[in-house]
Amino acid sequence: MATPVRAQILVVDDEPVIRQLLKEMLLTMGYQVEIAASGHEALTIYNARKGDIDLVILDVMMPGMSGIEVFRRLKKLDPNVRVILASGYVDASKLQMAIKEGVRDFIAKPFAIRTLHRKIEAILSE
């Protein structure tokens, strides 16, 4: 019997501790995980592996390029990109605009592992 293919998730966050924590949480849930420390790194990884990445978890507040800008650039690379925005603080109007543009969901930091897992599973099962 073939082993089921595990979903590949790209985690993008400028905070090393958050990246590592998310990676460990997602590995525990059974996902394959790539990490990126910046929007530019995320775009490079996604462009090289866009056929393999099933979901992007993207920090909203990052230096250099905001998560919303990264999402817009990802959308140009792949109109079907699936993104969950994550933040401890987000402007509600910017969040609503991003959702209208195609962001699949938002999760507020700090979040429970169960909440994240439910959101991921809902998006991957669409």
Number of domains forming the structure of the chain? 1
Q: Rounded CA gap, 2 and 76, in Å?
A: 34
Walk along the chain (126 residues) and give the pLDDT tens digit of each residue. Answer: 443 558 999 999 999 999 999 999 999 999 999 999 999 999 999 999 978 999 999 999 999 999 999 999 999 999 999 999 999 887 788 888 899 999 999 999 888 989 999 999 999 998
CATH of the domain at 25: 3.40.50.2300
Q: Please give the pLDDT value at position 5.
A: 59
In-domain check, residue 123:
no
Token couple for 54: 């099933």
In-domain check, residue 25:
yes
Cis peptide before 110 (omega within 30 of 0): yes
In-domain check, residue 28:
yes
Q: Which domain holds residue 31?
A: 8-111
Q: Please give the pLDDT value at position 125.
A: 93
In-domain check, residue 50:
yes
